[in-house]
Amino acid sequence: MITIENPLDNTNNPILDVEFSRPTTGLDMGVGQIDPDKTGAMKLGRDAIVLTQTAESRSISFLSQSFNDGKSNVEVPIVSYCRRGSVIDLDTSVQSKDFANYHLAAIKEFSPFD
């Protein structure tokens, strides 16, 4: 098994397992504790899709270093949807259809999701 965790804290001291009073291992770290310098070409730690939901709306946000490489301003593609009766459609009160389509195309191109 290959692990890409970082068992050191931000001061480069070992993270201790409180229960056993020993330094942690890759299996102790759990999901989400990733050292981006060890991820290689997988792009783990560089990109994240954030899904939000309320009773009346849904949003997809793409926080991406891959998408923003070489740009002087950081761009965060966000697509918002709203409920209209029993249908969920683009929320044109916060974005135009062209704007939403541009952001959705960026999410599809730079993420593993299509």
* Interval 17-44 mean pLDDT: 56
Query: For 9-13, 67-71, 106-110, which range has the lowest pLDDT when averaged over its residues?
Result: 9-13
What pLDDT, on a 0 to 100 scale, did the predictor assign at position 34? 52
Q: Look-up: residue for tokens 């981006």?
A: 36
Residue of higher predicted confidence among 110 and 26: 110
Pick the closest to residue 52 from 94, 106, 86, 5 (CA basis): 94
Phi, psi of 109 (to 5 degrees): -75, -40
What percentage of the chain has pLDDT greater than the value 70? 63
Q: Where are the domains of the chain?
A: 1-40, 47-110
Q: How confident is the model at residue 7 (pLDDT cuts 50, 70, 90)?
A: low
What percentage of the chain has pLDDT greater than the value 90? 24
Statement: residue 53 has pLDDT above 70: yes
